[in-house]
């Protein structure tokens, strides 16, 4: 039996694309089961990396590594995730969904289990790479399961939910990861990650996806493209992920990585541009619509990095994860509300309006955070962070639908779209975090210099502050000179804290400006589209009037 032979499908069962499941009719109970499994699988794909990302400081201490070394964990996840999207589509198309599902889940479980026994930075990096590979697979798998839970007329709602489920991983990880650390330090995180992986494996073995069509997808030249593109993107991820930590102009290897990335990616693009059946359709990706879509997603992801700045701001005030739990509960509720609102309002005709609405909320939220002080606590950030969380998930579904509509008409561009969407999401996140961190460091140095410039013991207020801080230690320090030194140190720590607060305010204001600029760009394009859509009607009407006039004149002359 030829597994690649075309199958006979009923009209409602036909798969949308090769490698995707068919759509048979299901009972309500079975649809609910598919929806539940889709939620579990999609959450597993994002939760493993989220648990590590929100606890990097604790992982650094338990693994006994430097800050620059621990930053490899989230960076290598993005490296593997982006690169594997280049091959996973063709893997599903040629080898089928069942092997695709079971193989990657088993590999993920084995890598996580091995790390629990052979622990160290090297094994942690290996697990994060495996998590990145499986995260790319599980996100797609969760989407397919979720779509089976919806009838054809509500399939767009299923797309929004399937994409949105994995976005809930970060606020969920912030809520309960502290308890996992209390159980067994960093091993608690990996035991939970292993448990989620095994739960997903059990679910997909019990409830299998309907079969789909398979085709011979791989070509020999695909290996050459992957061998060039994957390390090129990995080098770029290394630059974006670690540039702020080792600092951009102080580590020569960053320059070599960036140069190598440009050479490798350019070589891969050159090969694909001249192929008859390219793995990446460069001509399609460089059309105005795709470039505009990629830029809008990239800019929105940079705006979303405001949440990273919020965590850094609260940590600069001395707060820990468990003290921010109520804030993360608010952001989780807002994220669920954003996903539900997006699913209820999704429509191809309202995609650009949805994107602009999300940007308005992001700009308002970031601007509200730009007025923080040393008295600001999580309770004062509920509204702003709720707006950002709502908008952050609200825009994901419309963006995906806007690009996927073109895929239905041209299925060969599925890999190109998957890679573009993945790169803008992941690299946008890395770029946003790098920009937030870099701007914060630069502005902190500026504000610190401005504050320290006026701190002199000649000033009576400064002298009084130093004496007051030293007097508070009179019960423990008898030496007046030591008390004075401690007072000066306390004043310096307060100045550093205030400089950090002012720097984060500058970061939040900059993010708000980026959101407004992106909104203005999208609004200008939207208005231009409306104007150009109205223009052809006038010439057409004139032409019809002219033809009628000529007809009347001819009939009159006769």
* pLDDT tens sequence across 175-189: 887 777 777 677 777
Q: Counting beta carbons within 10 angstroms of the beta carbon of residue 2, is it exposed (0 to 12), middle (13 to 18) or buried (19 or more)?
A: exposed
Cα–Cα distance measured from residue 43 to residue 135, given in angstroms and rounded to the nearest whole number: 9
- Across the range 126-144, mean pLDDT stands at 80
- Across the range 31-48, mean pLDDT stands at 87
Looking at 127-224, which runs of residues are DSSP E strands?
none
Judged by average pLDDT, the poorest of 10-19, 23-32, 78-87, 203-212 is: 10-19
What is each CA distance from 475 to 20, 458, 466, 472, 493, in whole angstroms? 73, 27, 16, 7, 21
Tell me the two tokens of residue 341. 């609102």
Positive or negative CA dihedral for 256, 258, 262, 265? positive
Judged by average pLDDT, the poorest of 63-67, 394-398, 521-525, 543-547 is: 543-547
C-beta of residue 527 within 8 angstroms of C-beta of residue 519: no
pLDDT value of residue 262:
92
C-beta of residue 149 within 8 angstroms of C-beta of residue 38: yes
What is each CA distance from 17 to 13, 90, 509, in whole angstroms? 12, 11, 44
**Burial profile 127-139: b = 16 or more Cβ within 10 angstroms, e = fewer:** bbbbbbbbbbbbb
pLDDT value of residue 422:
76
pLDDT value of residue 456:
65
C-beta of residue 360 within 8 angstroms of C-beta of residue 519: yes
pLDDT value of residue 558:
42
> What DSSP assignment string belongs to 221-259?
HHHHHHHHHHHHHHHHHHHHHHHHHH-TTT-HHHHHHHH
Cα–Cα distance measured from residue 408 to residue 113, given in angstroms and rounded to the nearest whole number: 40
* CA atoms lying within 13 Å on the CB side of residue 461: 2
Q: Could you tell me where the DSSP H helices lie in 370-479?
A: 382-394, 396-409, 414-452, 460-471
Which domains are assigned to the chain?
1-219 (1.20.1250.20), 302-467+479-532 (1.20.1250)
Cα–Cα distance measured from residue 93 to residue 535, given in angstroms and rounded to the nearest whole number: 43
Cα–Cα distance measured from residue 201 to residue 185, given in angstroms and rounded to the nearest whole number: 25
- Across the range 138-142, mean pLDDT stands at 82
Cα–Cα distance measured from residue 76 to residue 88, given in angstroms and rounded to the nearest whole number: 18
| Inter-helix orientation angle 72-95/121-148, to 10° | 40
pLDDT value of residue 487:
65
* pLDDT tens sequence across 524-540: 888 887 787 776 544 44
How distant is the alpha carbon of residue 29 from its chain centre?
Answer: 32
Tell me the two tokens of residue 349. 């005709």
* Percent of the chain scoring above 70 in pLDDT: 82
Q: Counting beta carbons within 10 angstroms of the beta carbon of residue 160, is it exposed (0 to 12), middle (13 to 18) or buried (19 or more)?
A: buried
* pLDDT tens sequence across 284-295: 777 777 787 788
Judged by average pLDDT, the poorest of 214-223, 468-477, 505-514, 541-550 is: 541-550
C-beta of residue 82 within 8 angstroms of C-beta of residue 261: no
**Cα Rg of the chain (Å, integer):** 27
The kind and range of the H/E element at 360 are: helix 351-369
Cα–Cα distance measured from residue 346 to residue 397, given in angstroms and rounded to the nearest whole number: 8
Neighbours of 263 (CB within 10 A): 13
* pLDDT tens sequence across 224-274: 888 888 889 889 888 988 888 888 888 898 999 999 999 998 988 888 887
- Across the range 116-140, mean pLDDT stands at 78
Q: Comparing 217 with 346, which gets the higher pLDDT? A: 346
Angle, alpha carbons 113-115-119 (nearest 5°): 150
Q: At which residue do the structure tokens 């969920």 appear?
A: 172
Cα–Cα distance measured from residue 252 to residue 243, given in angstroms and rounded to the nearest whole number: 11
C-beta of residue 328 within 8 angstroms of C-beta of residue 171: yes
pLDDT value of residue 256:
92
Write down the mean pLDDT value for the chain. Answer: 78
Confidence of residue 548 (pLDDT cuts 50, 70, 90): very low
> What global pTM score does this model have?
0.82
> What DSSP assignment string belongs to 416-442?
HHHHHHHHHHHHHHHHHHHHHHHHHHH
Q: Is 28 left (phi over 0), alpha (psi -120 to 50) or beta?
A: alpha
Confidence of residue 165 (pLDDT cuts 50, 70, 90): confident
pLDDT value of residue 263:
92
- Across the range 553-558, mean pLDDT stands at 45
Cα–Cα distance measured from residue 172 to residue 283, given in angstroms and rounded to the nearest whole number: 40
- Across the range 331-339, mean pLDDT stands at 90
- Residue of 235, 255, 368 whose CA lies nearest to 310: 368
Q: Comparing 36 with 135, which gets the higher pLDDT? A: 36
First to last CA, the chain: 74
**Burial profile 356-389: b = 16 or more Cβ within 10 angstroms, e = fewer:** bbbbebbbbbbbbbbebeeebebeebeebbbbbb
How distant is the alpha carbon of residue 419 from its chain centre?
Answer: 14
Q: Which of 269-278, 294-303, 310-319, 498-507 has the highest mean pLDDT?
A: 498-507
On the question of pLDDT at 213 being above 80, the answer is: no
Cα–Cα distance measured from residue 471 to residue 50, given in angstroms and rounded to the nearest whole number: 45
């Amino acid at each position: 039996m030829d597994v690649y032979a075309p199958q006979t499908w009923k009209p409602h069962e036909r798969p949308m694309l090769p490698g995707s499941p068919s759509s048979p009719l299901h009972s309500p109970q079975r649809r609910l089961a598919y929806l539940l499994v889709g939620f579990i699988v999609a959450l597993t794909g994002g939760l493993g990396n989220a648990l590590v990302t929100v606890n990097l400081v604790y992982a650094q201490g338990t693994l006994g590594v430097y800050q620059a070394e621990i930053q490899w964990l989230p960076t290598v996840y993005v490296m593997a995730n982006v690169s594997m999207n280049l091959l996973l589509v063709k893997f599903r198309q040629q080898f089928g969904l069942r092997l695709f599902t079971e193989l990657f889940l088993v590999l993920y479980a084995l890598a996580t289990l091995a790390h629990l026994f052979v622990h160290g930075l090297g094994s942690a990096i290996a697990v994060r790479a495996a998590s990145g590979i499986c995260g790319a697979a599980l996100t797609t798998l969760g989407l397919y399961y979720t779509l089976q839970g919806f009838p054809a007329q509500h399939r767009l709602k299923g797309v929004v939910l399937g994409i949105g489920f994995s976005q809930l991983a970060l606020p969920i990880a912030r809520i309960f990861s502290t308890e996992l650390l209390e159980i067994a330090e960093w091993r608690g995180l990996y035991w939970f990650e292993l448990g989620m992986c095994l739960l997903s494996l059990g679910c997909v073995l019990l409830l299998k996806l309907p079969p789909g069509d398979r085709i011979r997808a791989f070509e020999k030249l695909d290996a050459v493209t992957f061998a060039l593109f994957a390390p090129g993107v990995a080098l770029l991820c290394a630059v974006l992920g670690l540039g702020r930590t080792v600092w951009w102009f102080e580590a020569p290897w960053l320059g070599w990585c960036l140069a190598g990335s440009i050479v490798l990616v350019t070589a891969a693009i050159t090969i694909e541009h001249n192929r008859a059946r390219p793995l990446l359709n460069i001509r399609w990706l460089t059309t105005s619509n795709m470039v505009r879509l990629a830029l809008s997603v990239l800019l929105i992801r940079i705006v979303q990095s405001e949440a990273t700045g919020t965590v850094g701001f609260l940590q600069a005030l001395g707060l820990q994860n468990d003290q921010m739990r109520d804030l993360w509960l608010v952001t989780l509720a807002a994220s669920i509300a954003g996903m539900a609102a997006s699913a209820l309002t999704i429509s191809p005709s309202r995609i650009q309006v949805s994107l602009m609405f999300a940007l308005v909320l992001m700009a308002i939220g970031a601007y509200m955070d730009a007025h923080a002080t040393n008295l600001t606590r999580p309770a004062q950030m509920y509204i702003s962070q709720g707006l950002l969380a709502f908008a952050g998930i609200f825009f994901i579904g419309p963006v995906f639908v806007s690009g996927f509509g073109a895929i239905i008409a041209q299925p060969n561009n599925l890999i190109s779209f998957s890679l573009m969407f993945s790169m803008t999401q992941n690299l946008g996140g890395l770029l946003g975090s790098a920009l937030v961190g870099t701007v914060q460091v630069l502005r902190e140095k500026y504000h610190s210099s401005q504050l320290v410039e006026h701190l002199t013991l000649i000033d009576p207020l400064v002298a009084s502050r130093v004496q007051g801080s030293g007097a508070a230690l009179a019960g423990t320090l008898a030496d007046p000179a030591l008390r004075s030194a401690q007072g000066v140190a306390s004043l310096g720590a307060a100045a550093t804290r205030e400089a950090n607060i002012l720097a984060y305010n500058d970061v939040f204001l900059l993010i708000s400006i980026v959101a407004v600029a992106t909104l203005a760009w999208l609004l200008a394009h939207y208005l231009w589209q409306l104007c150009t859509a109205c223009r052809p009607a006038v010439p057409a009407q004139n032409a019809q009037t002219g033809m009628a006039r000529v007809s009347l004149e001819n009939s009159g002359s006769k």
